[in-house]
Chains A and B, each alone.
Chain A
Amino acid sequence: MADKESGRARGGRRPSGALLGVLPFFVYVTIFLIVPTLIVVIGAFFSQGSFSMVNIKALGESAVKTALWQSVILSLVTAVLGAVIGAVLAYAVSTAREGGIVKRFVTSLCGVLAQFGGVALAFAFMATFIGSGILAGLSSESGGLWLYAWNKGLILVYLYFQIPLMLIVFLPAVEGLRPQWREATETLGGSTFTYWRKVAGPILLPSFIGALLLLFTNAFSAYATAKALISQGTPLLPLGIDGALSSEVVLGQQDVAKAMALEMMVVVAVVMTIYTILDKRASRWLVK
């Protein structure tokens, strides 16, 4: 309530006036995001042009359930590992000289690698670990099959874009830490641990959790790289969607693909809710 009143006092406008400020954004996303999403969501409940729960029922098949489960695990593992390693990297980079070559080089490289994927990325790893690649010795006994397993090789491959993404989205938060705060902590007799526990940690935590959420969804929806490495079966949900959309053997599964997409949205909505609760806790901790 306090927010609203002070807003009124400051701007001298009613809240509906303030709403005009966000209207362009909402109109844009309605056209290019909400409507397309709704088309997909509604499509999930239609089969051959009439209302039906067939597609939703198809989600109960054991192959789809396994794919969902494995997708969640893969996304969670690569999000946590990527976030931790990426955060450490971000901190290391933030201590480099502002405007120095190290910082520019690492951030530019990470910007590129964060969006690197597909057949090219899959090939890069194959060229490294299989055949005459420089690290092929590591996998000579197993024939390199570990690289094509969703719970082994794919984790490593996903980290290749998760860590750079973490650096890019987390660096602004780390750079927001001011050296004066550390100095103040030291002046007051605080140790490095105290600084991280009481000052930097609480400030960074909300951004860290937010970035974790982004990394999770990023891995969750990635498919081109996985498709190039594992083309047999349906180890991950996005691969199931791709297969349902473009199968030339079993036709007419487009609506099932929409149902799977709906399932993905539900998962992210659930994760988003957990995040909201965590973020509120974190904010409260911050106030303390």
Chain B
Amino acid sequence: MTGQRAAFRRKQAIMRRVVIGLVLLFFAVPLYGMFSDATKDVAGKHWSLATWRTLLDFPKISTKYPDLKTGFLASVGLAVVTVVVMLVLLVPTMTWVRLRLPGLTRTVEFICLLPLTVPAIVLVVGLTPIYSWLTGWLQYFFGPTIGSSTIWLALAYVVLVLPYAYRALDAGLRAIDVRTLSEAARSLGAGWGTVMWRVVLPNLRTAVLSASFLAVALTLGEFTIANLFSRTNLQVAMYLLGKSDAQISVAVGLLSLVFAFVVLFAMSFVGGARSATSPMTRLRRAKKEPA
């Protein structure tokens, strides 16, 4: 029996390496295409680091393109706000619908998928009156500078993130039995807040992380809406920088991918490896800890 299991593990490991290896190769080839283009001289014949040298000369590039810093800070802010608003809006709603209002499941799902049916260029048409109304109020309360700040775009980004976040969270919710878990917790005297925070959320770790991943990646890569509303985020600033030189535009495209990757990779270490324990064990543990 143990021999059989070891053989199975070996087979599984081989399968894993082959599949991951092949897919990573497919991912790597076009990226290499970009890299090699940015790392050659203008004639494309010899290797050259000139483009990278220009781009990584931070003091020079930040004085020449001050928008880059503005855009960078704006995008980081947008990513944080988008993730927070998205989670606050979606996790309780989806859990609640599952527990108390299953009849609304389809409605919520359709609404969450709706943003994908409306391409961003068209959504901007619809968002125009909303933002001109919103900006009016924001300028009234916070003054013209903060009122027309880039950060308010996060409210629209949350909408863009909905389809991806919904799917990731839904997969997570389907994998755990929310009803049994919450009933168990409720019967042990926990309030709805405790159920959400101490029971549901920890069990959704992978799903929440997946949803946040997509939200961060989408926000850091968002161009269309920021561009059309004439707000400077990272992509808009980098795009403008790329307009100065063809090779820099390629290098910039690659760099923004690397940056987003670093952010996501760092994010993947947040929370630690807790999901190895079973939900019921964690429920018991949660009960023991002071509320």
Contacts and interface: CB of A to CB of B under 8 A. Distances in A.
A and B touch in the complex (CB under 8 A): yes
Interface of A: 3, 7, 10-11, 15, 18-19, 21-22, 24-25, 28-29, 31-40, 43, 85, 88-89, 92-93, 95-96, 98-99, 102, 104-109, 111-121, 123-128, 131-135, 160, 163-165, 168-173, 175-178, 203, 206-207, 210-211, 213-214, 217-218, 220-221, 223-224, 238, 241-242, 245-246, 254, 257-258, 261, 264-265, 267-269, 272, 276
Q: When A and B form their complex, which 7 residue pairs have the shortest distance between CB atoms, in order from nearest?
A: A176-B175, A36-B126, A120-B253, A99-B273, A128-B33, A127-B33, A124-B30
11 contacts: A36-B127, A111-B214, A113-B257, A116-B257, A119-B253, A164-B27, A170-B171, A172-B175, A223-B121, A254-B125, A258-B125
A175 B206 contact: yes
Q: How large is the interface on B (under 10, 10 to 19, 20 to 34, 35 or more residues)?
A: 35 or more
A173 B175 contact: yes
B273 A98 contact: yes
A32 B130 contact: yes
Nearest to B111: A29
Contact of A165 (B20, B37, B110, B164): B164
Nearest to B88: A24
Interface string B1-27: 000000000001101100110011011
B166 to A, nearest CB: 8
B126 A39 contact: yes
Contacts of B275: 98, 175
A195 B173 CA distance: 22
A132 B34 contact: no
A125 B29 CA distance: 9
A51 to B, nearest CB: 18
A220 B113 CA distance: 12
Contacts of A15: 100-101
Contacts of A35: 126, 130
A214 B176 CA distance: 21
Nearest to A28: B89
B155 A32 contact: yes
Contacts of A32: 127, 130, 155-156, 158-159
B30 A128 contact: yes
B116 A19 contact: no
Interface in B140-192: 155-156, 158-159, 162-164, 167-168, 170-172, 174-176, 183, 186
Contact of B176 (A28, A92, A126, A176): A176
Contacts of B159: 29, 32-33
Contacts of B276: 98
Contacts of A99: 272-273
B176 A39 contact: no
B55 interface: no
A223 B37 CA distance: 24
A99 to B, nearest CB: 3
A25 B89 contact: yes
Contact of A123 (B104, B164, B250, B257): B250
Given A210-B170, A268-B116, A22 B96 contact: yes
B97 interface: yes
A89 B23 contact: yes
Interface stretch (B66-74, B260-268, B282-290): B260-268
B44 A214 contact: no
B122 interface: yes
B130 A36 contact: yes
A284 B184 CA distance: 25
Contacts of A164: 27
B54 interface: no
Nearest to B32: A134
A12 to B, nearest CB: 11
Given A85-B23, A104-B265, A214-B164, A39 B129 contact: yes
A171 B113 contact: no
A99 B20 CA distance: 16
A19 B97 CA distance: 9
A124 B34 contact: yes
Contact of B163 (A89, A119, A160, A214): A214
A207 B261 contact: no
A49 to B, nearest CB: 15
B269 interface: yes
B142 to A, nearest CB: 18
B118 A264 contact: yes
B158 A169 contact: no
Nearest to B207: A172
B182 to A, nearest CB: 9
Contacts of B172: 172-173, 176
A248 B44 CA distance: 35
Given A33-B111, A36-B123, A85-B23, A21 B92 contact: yes
A172 to B, nearest CB: 4
B276 to A, nearest CB: 5
